[in-house]
């Protein structure tokens, strides 16, 4: 793997880590930050969580000394997600960090007082999480994911790599309101590009297995995949299926490309977690979520898997490679 652009380093509070400020009046307190995830625990290391913790450490928040982390994984189960959100409220967690639209809504329904920092939320206003981006107005703030930008751009890159593609199947999670928005954007982009698009709803690992059967029956020329809440094992299994059946795959999530998808394009996930750490830092130092504007992504990554391209018999055009932020070989 090689980076095509210098790794972004986001400063949380200037170049020098400052001592904990006046907002932390309770000397000796260990603040509790919860990470609530709709999906499953990662099979291996979790670089985004590690980045989040490292960024907080750089401004003086040391795990075990003045901050602790609690992680809850609902493994795709909405009822369990609601149970975990209620549990975190009972535990009187200081901040809840959430990782998509469904998780943000579950947390918001559980509490209107505990600060919630969101990441990867497609439409914070349309989902009812904030009043406006500039003035959230409640206990929720954080990063949006700009879903309107991702679905169409993925298809554009796919068409650049494989110009003859005219039929695409889109896999999406109907339980995630943000995915509904991406579905409509994929429809609009497909119409513009002259691509016929079909949608298959996927909510679990078994749904993804069933989707493979449908894909064999319908035989599209490529597959676009949304933010499915499935295990890494299921994603790897699907990536191998796609290569075996000569189906180029595109998504907004780089970890899918690391598992064998052809390409991803979307807001940099690392930036979402870096900025989440910044929000947590500010809130623990006394800021109110209502006063912290929701930020939109500033960094977008194009990731290409050359090994997958070769297995599919595709040559990545130099014009696409030149724009890639990361190439997996």
- 158-182 per-position pLDDT tens digit: 999 999 999 999 999 887 777 777 7
- 278-299 per-position pLDDT tens digit: 999 999 999 999 999 999 999 9
DSSP string, 255-283: HHHHTT-SEEEEE-HHHHHHHHHHHHHHH
Instruction: Please indicate, yes or no, whether residues 134 and 277 belong to a single structural domain of this protein.
Output: yes
- Per-residue confidence band for 17, with pLDDT thresholds at 50, 70 and 90: very low
What element of type H or E holds 202? none
Predicted confidence at residue 152, as pLDDT, reads 82
Predicted confidence at residue 20, as pLDDT, reads 41
pTM comes to 0.85
Residues 311 and 318: their CA atoms lie apart, in Å, by 18
The enclosing domain of 204 has a CATH number of 3.40.50.2300
Across the range 91-118, mean pLDDT stands at: 96
Backbone phi, psi, residue 12, to 5°: -90, -30
Residues 178 and 226: their CA atoms lie apart, in Å, by 10
Residues 298 and 9: their CA atoms lie apart, in Å, by 13
Instruction: Please indicate, yes or no, whether residues 160 and 183 belong to a single structural domain of this protein.
Output: yes
Instruction: Please indicate, yes or no, whether residues 275 and 248 belong to a single structural domain of this protein.
Output: no
- Answer yes or no: is pLDDT of 28 > 60: yes
User: Is 77 strand, coil or helix?
Assistant: coil
Instruction: Please indicate, yes or no, whether residues 191 and 322 belong to a single structural domain of this protein.
Output: yes
**What's the number of domains the chain is made of?**
2
- Answer yes or no: is pLDDT of 9 > 50: no
Backbone phi, psi, residue 271, to 5°: -65, -35
| Structural domain range at position 253 | 147-266+302-328
Instruction: Please indicate, yes or no, whether residues 122 and 204 belong to a single structural domain of this protein.
Output: no
Predicted confidence at residue 42, as pLDDT, reads 84
- 181-231 per-position pLDDT tens digit: 778 888 988 999 999 999 999 988 999 999 999 999 999 999 999 888 888
- Answer yes or no: is pLDDT of 7 > 70: no
Residues 48 and 54: their CA atoms lie apart, in Å, by 10
Instruction: Please indicate, yes or no, whether residues 113 and 233 belong to a single structural domain of this protein.
Output: no
Instruction: Please indicate, yes or no, whether residues 192 and 310 belong to a single structural domain of this protein.
Output: yes
Over its C-alpha atoms, the chain yields an Rg (Å, rounded) of: 20
Nearest alpha-carbon partner for 40 in 165, 205, 191? 205
Residues 324 and 172: their CA atoms lie apart, in Å, by 25
Instruction: Please indicate, yes or no, whether residues 68 and 120 belong to a single structural domain of this protein.
Output: yes
- Unique residue bearing structure tokens 């119409």: 191
Instruction: Please indicate, yes or no, whether residues 104 and 211 belong to a single structural domain of this protein.
Output: no
Instruction: Please indicate, yes or no, whether residues 82 and 152 belong to a single structural domain of this protein.
Output: no
Predicted confidence at residue 149, as pLDDT, reads 64
Instruction: Please indicate, yes or no, whether residues 306 and 290 belong to a single structural domain of this protein.
Output: no
Distance of CA 224 to the CA centre of its chain: 16
Instruction: Please indicate, yes or no, whether residues 259 and 279 belong to a single structural domain of this protein.
Output: no
């Amino acid at each position: 793997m090689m980076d095509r652009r210098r790794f972004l380093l986001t400063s949380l509070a200037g170049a020098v880590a400052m001592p904990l400020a006046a907002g932390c009046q309770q000397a000796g307190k260990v603040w509790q930050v919860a990470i609530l995830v709709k999906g499953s625990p990662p099979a291996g290391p979790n670089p985004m969580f590690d980045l989040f913790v490292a960024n907080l450490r750089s401004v003086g928040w040391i795990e075990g000394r003045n901050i602790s982390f609690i992680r809850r994984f609902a493994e795709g189960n909405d009822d369990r997600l609601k149970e975990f959100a209620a549990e975190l409220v009972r535990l009187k967690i200081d901040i809840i960090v959430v990782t998509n639209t469904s998780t943000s809504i579950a947390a918001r329904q559980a509490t209107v007082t505990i600060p919630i920092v969101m990441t990867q939320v497609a439409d914070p206003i349309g989902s009812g999480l904030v009043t406006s981006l500039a003035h959230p107005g409640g206990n929720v703030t954080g990063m949006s994911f700009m879903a309107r930008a991702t679905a169409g751009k993925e298809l554009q890159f796919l068409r650049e790599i494989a110009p003859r593609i005219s039929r695409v199947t889109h896999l999406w999670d109907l339980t995630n309101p943000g995915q509904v928005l991406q579905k409509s954007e994929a429809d609009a982009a497909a119409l513009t590009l002259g691509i016929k698009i079909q949608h298959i709803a996927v909510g679990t690992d078994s749904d993804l297995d069933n989707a493979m059967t449908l894909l064999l029956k319908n035989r599209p020329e490529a597959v676009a995949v949304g933010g499915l809440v499935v295990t890494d094992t299921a994603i790897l299994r699907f990536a191998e299926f796609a290569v075996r059946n000569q189906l180029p795959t595109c998504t907004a999530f780089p970890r899918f490309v690391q598992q064998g998808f052809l390409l991803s394009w979307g807001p940099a996930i690392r930036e979402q977690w870096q900025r989440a750490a910044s929000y947590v830092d500010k809130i623990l130092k006394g800021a109110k979520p209502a006063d912290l504007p929701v930020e939109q992504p500033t960094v977008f990554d194009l990731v290409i898997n050359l090994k997958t391209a070769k297995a599919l018999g595709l040559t990545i055009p130099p014009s696409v490679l030149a724009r890639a932020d990361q190439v997996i070989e």
